[in-house]
């Protein structure tokens, strides 16, 4: 929207210091330094694409030629030199530019005089967690995105093209920002749901006979994945909330419900992730308790068999004395000892089985 910054498109300065309207023939200090990194460009008016794929150095000229147009510029893994052409033209703050080119910045929203700066992380969860850090500069007439890792930009463009019915004269940039936020938060929610499904699968194998080291390793891996994902997902409700604030001058009456919907999805993703972390902890604790119960059962059985074996040991030990005893030196004595061992051991086994020890 036009109130995002005081200067929707900042004026380049000539060598003698006089202001120059963007797009005129006089050379500017950034005119000869096009970005060397891969770029994507689009020019919009009233939700319709006027042009795309044009050189990034023509952005200011095209905006100056059409006051009703807005632009999107995407830079993939740029260097500070690659951003120089847009720094002067749009009045980007040096601190925001530094954050845009630095790796692993926290998810946040910063407000500067002529623009908003936001940093966030898009994720996907397959065999492993894939993270894409995305920064964006939001000015009155341009959205500039900086991708530090690969991200499905074509899916984002398709999402923008589906929302053209929401466009008004004042919310063209806001609509682009909404599409990006919606894509990022949807990716968070899909990743959280996949983690939740993996936890469900782990839970079904909790009481199987082969659950053991494998289950503990899977629980540990899931816990590590949840911890990594939570650092990326948890700040998003605050990011969307900051963009919803009135001082951001970004959201109008048309888009407010859609931004609130994105905020709700971000909250649900964070809450689901917290619940998933608790579930993994409970699975690990339950598995340890199950192992302890199984160990106790084994100990009981061993103790029961030890008691049974102690009976014939005691009888044979008694009959092994070097003194005369009933049946000493007769076959009948041997038979009596065998009967005593079988009867006593059988009675003890019967008693222990009834008590659940065998």
CA gyration radius, the chain: 36
Q: Are residues 314 and 247 in the same domain?
A: no
Distances (CA, A) of 213 to 202, 217, 231, 273, 292: 13, 6, 28, 24, 14
The H or E element containing residue 223 is helix 213-233
Q: What are the pLDDT digits (tens) for 309-343?
A: 887 777 777 666 655 666 666 777 777 778 877 88
In a domain, 10, yes or no: no
282 and 325 together in one domain: no
- For the stretch 191-235, pLDDT in tens is 888 888 888 888 777 766 555 567 777 788 888 888 888 889 999
Same domain, yes or no: 338 and 241? no
Contact assessment for residue 170 and residue 2, using Cβ atoms and an 8 Å cutoff? yes
Asked whether residue 245 carries a pLDDT value surpassing 80, the answer given is yes
Burial class (CB in 10 A: 0-12, 13-18, 19+), 127: exposed
> Left if phi > 0, otherwise alpha if psi is -120 to 50, otherwise beta: which for 9?
beta
Mean pLDDT of all residues belonging to the chain: 80
Q: For residue 177, name the pLDDT band (cuts at 50, 70, 90).
A: very high
Cα distance between residue 244 and residue 168, in whole Å: 18
Note whether 202 and 322 are same-domain residues.
no
Same domain, 193 and 241: yes
Q: Are residues 285 and 212 both part of a single domain? A: yes
Which range marks the domain in which residue 346 is found? 296-354
Are 198 and 89 within one domain? yes
Q: Which of 289, 315, 344 finishes a domain?
A: 289
Residues 265 and 319 occupy one common structural domain: no
Given 244, 266, 289, the domain boundary residue is 289
Domain C-terminal end among 270, 289, 308: 289
Q: Domains in the chain: how many in total?
A: 2
Same domain, 258 and 313: no
Q: What value does the mean pLDDT take over residues 276-284?
A: 82
* CB contact at 8 A, 259 and 237: no
CATH number, domain of 59, equals 3.30.460.20
What's the pLDDT tens digit per position in 91-137? 888 899 999 988 888 899 999 988 899 999 998 776 677 889 999 99
Q: Is residue 285 part of a domain?
A: yes
Could you tell me if residue 191 is inside a domain?
yes
């Amino acid at each position: 929207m036009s109130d995002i910054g005081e200067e929707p498109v900042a004026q380049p300065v000539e060598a003698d210091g006089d202001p120059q309207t963007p797009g005129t023939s006089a050379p500017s200090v950034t005119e000869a330094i096009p970005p060397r990194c891969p770029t994507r460009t689009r020019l919009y008016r009233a939700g319709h694409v006027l042009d795309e794929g044009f050189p990034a150095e023509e952005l200011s000229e095209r905006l100056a030629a059409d006051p009703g147009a807005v632009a999107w510029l995407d830079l993939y893994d740029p260097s500070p030199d690659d951003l120089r052409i847009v720094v002067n033209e749009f009045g980007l703050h040096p601190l925001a530019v530094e954050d845009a080119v630095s790796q692993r910045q926290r998810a946040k929203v910063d407000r500067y005089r002529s623009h908003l700066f936001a940093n966030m992380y898009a994720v996907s969860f397959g065999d492993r967690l894939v993270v894409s850090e995305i920064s964006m500069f939001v000015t009155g007439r341009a959205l500039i995105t900086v991708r530090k890792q690969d991200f499905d930009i074509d899916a984002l463009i398709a999402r923008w093209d589906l929302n053209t019915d929401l466009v008004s004269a004042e919310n063209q940039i806001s609509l682009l920002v909404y599409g990006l936020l919606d894509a990022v938060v949807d990716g968070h929610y899909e990743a959280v749901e996949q983690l939740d499904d993996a936890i469900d699968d782990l839970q079904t194998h909790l009481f199987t006979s082969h659950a053991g080291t494998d289950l503990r390793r899977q629980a540990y891996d899931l816990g590590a994945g949840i911890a990594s994902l939570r650092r990326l997902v948890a700040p998003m409700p605050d990011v969307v909330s900051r963009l919803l604030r009135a001082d951001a001058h970004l959201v109008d009456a048309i888009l407010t419900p859609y931004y609130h919907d994105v905020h709700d999805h971000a909250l649900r993703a964070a809450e689901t992730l917290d619940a998933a972390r608790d579930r993994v902890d409970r699975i690990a604790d339950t598995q340890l308790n199950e192992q302890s119960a199984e160990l106790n059962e084994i100990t009981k059985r061993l103790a029961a068999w030890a008691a049974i074996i102690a009976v014939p040991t005691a009888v044979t030990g008694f009959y092994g004395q070097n003194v005369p005893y009933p049946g000493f030196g007769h076959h009948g004595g041997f038979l009596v000892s065998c009967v005593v061992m079988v009867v006593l051991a059988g009675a003890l086994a019967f008693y222990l089985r009834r008590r659940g020890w065998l």
